[in-house]
Amino acid sequence: MNLVRAELERLAARRFVQLMVLLLAVAFALTVATTLAGSHRPTPVELSRAQTQAADEVRNLELAHDRCLRIKAGTVTPDENDYLPRDCAQIDPALMDKLPSASDYLSGVFVFANEAEPLLYFLIAFLAMFGFLVGASYIGADLNSGGVVNLLLWRPRRFAVLGAKLGTLLGGLLGLSALASVVYLGVFWLIGEASGLTGRIGGAFWSSLAAVWVRGLVLVLLAAALGFALATLGRHTSAALGTVAAYLVVWELGARLVFQILSVTRPDRFMLSSYLAAWLSGEARFWDNDACSGDIAGFCDGYYSLGWAPGLVVLLALTAALTVGAFTAFRRRDLI
């Protein structure tokens, strides 16, 4: 426990961590300031105009659906402007997840319900990068500055020392991320309340936002563990950065090109980024070049999708394997 406390202090005292937290605060303040500057509370006139527009749009959708049904039934002949899906249910407004609402027709008004998710994604992206860099530099710098050696002279248990470091890192990061995201969303919600609209924030909204939040936090922790493991394996902060850069260039770009030249089926299956996207957004859809090659005549759905489950499995397995490798290597290694 004392080891963890000491590590937590060490972590908090790192310049890099402080700098990144500061950067986060600055980015946060800037977003808040620009949002505040560009948003106002809609006047009743604006509001009622927007409501009429939204109601008109919904009516148009209903008319189009009706017309579709009637064309299919043969009571109306179609003209060239008609969009005719195979099944009219696809354009049935009653079945749509999101109908046009007044908030879509207000300009210069911040609507929390519409913006919360993209804002959260931005925060998660920042925190994941932060986690990776801090994870890598925390152990990398300590391995190089002799901090680990000093600590091992006090606690000659390598698993415990490295484990305390990783545990402290993940715990601290989780705390910081949870706090940051709650404060972040809270502030934007307040902006919505005070100088904009909160929009439709019912149970469905919160549960979908919570899902993104949980998936995001898991991603942040995975990124930190990955950075930590790579830097431990390579004994250097730059080993982690180098590995990621090399992976991106060689595999995500290079191999993708090669797959394209060789016309490999569904190359996205082999890319970590696909699993990352799948995990983060719940489902990722990719175009399959071969799916519709034989099918000229009718309708063909050339997309295939990756769900969050395989995404999580792949990311978790990769991180776990590297972490186990890092611990094993660290246990046997000569520390100079």
Partner 1 sequence: MSAVIEIAGLRKTFHTLRQGRRIAVDGFDLLVEAGQVHGFLGPNGSGKTTTLRALLGLVRADAGRMRVLGAESPERLADVAGRVGAIVESPQFFGNFTAHKTLRLLALAGGVPTARVDEVLEQVGLRDRGDERVKGYSLGMKQRLAVASALLKDPQLLILDEPANGLDPAGIREMRDLTRSLAAAGVTVLLSSHILAEIQLICDHVTIISRGRRVAYGPVAEVLAGFDQHQWQVRVAEPERAVELLGRAGLAVIPYHDHLVVTGVVDPELISRTLGEQGLWVRELTPLRPDLESVFLELTGDHPHPALPRQVDGAPPNDGVIDLDVRESREVDA
Residue 282, phi-psi category: left (phi > 0), alpha (psi -120 to 50), beta (remainder): left
Residue 235 interacting with partner 1 (CB under 8 A): no
CA 102 to chain centre: 28
The answer to whether the CB of 240 falls within 8 A of the CB of 132 is: yes
How near is the Cβ of 184 to partner 1 at its closest, in Å? 29
Q: How far apart are CA 35 and CA 121, in angstroms?
A: 17
For partner 1, the closer CB: 7 or 288: 7
Which residues is 285 bridged to in the sheet?
Answer: 305
Residue 10 interacting with partner 1 (CB under 8 A): yes
Residue 22 interacting with partner 1 (CB under 8 A): no
Beta strands in 48-137 (DSSP E): 110-111
Helix axes 15-37, 2-12, angle to 10 degrees: 60
Q: How many residues bind partner 1 (CB under 8 A)?
A: 28
Residue 294 interacting with partner 1 (CB under 8 A): no
For partner 1, the closer CB: 64 or 141: 141
Contacts 24+ apart (CB under 8 A), 307-310: 307/278, 307/282, 307/283, 308/215, 308/278, 308/279, 308/282, 308/283, 310/275, 310/278
How near is the Cβ of 240 to partner 1 at its closest, in Å? 19
For partner 1, the closer CB: 45 or 336: 336
Q: Judged by CB under 8 A, which of 29, 122, 155, 285 binds partner 1?
A: 155
Residue type, 10: R
Residue 299's contacts (CB-CB under 8 Å, 6 or more residues apart) are 86
Residue 262 interacting with partner 1 (CB under 8 A): no
Residue 87 interacting with partner 1 (CB under 8 A): no
How near is the Cβ of 17 to partner 1 at its closest, in Å? 11
Length of the chain (residues): 336
Residue 3 interacting with partner 1 (CB under 8 A): yes
How near is the Cβ of 309 to partner 1 at its closest, in Å? 40
Residue 157 interacting with partner 1 (CB under 8 A): yes
Q: Judged by CB under 8 A, which of 26, 27, 29, 154 binds partner 1?
A: 154
Q: Judged by CB under 8 A, which of 93, 147, 171, 282 binds partner 1?
A: 147
How near is the Cβ of 169 to partner 1 at its closest, in Å? 16
Q: Judged by CB under 8 A, which of 27, 55, 99, 149 binds partner 1?
A: 149
Q: In the 3-class helix/strand/coil scheme, how is 14-28 assigned residue by residue?
A: CHHHHHHHHHHHHHH
For partner 1, the closer CB: 17 or 223: 17
Q: Judged by CB under 8 A, which of 90, 145, 260, 328 binds partner 1?
A: 145
Residue 131's contacts (CB-CB under 8 Å, 6 or more residues apart) are 173, 177, 220, 221, 223, 224, 227
Q: Judged by CB under 8 A, which of 156, 203, 294, 298 binds partner 1?
A: 156
Residue 59: strand, helix, or coil: helix
Binding site for partner 1 (CB under 8 A): 2-3, 5-7, 9-10, 13-15, 141-142, 145-147, 149-157, 332, 334-336
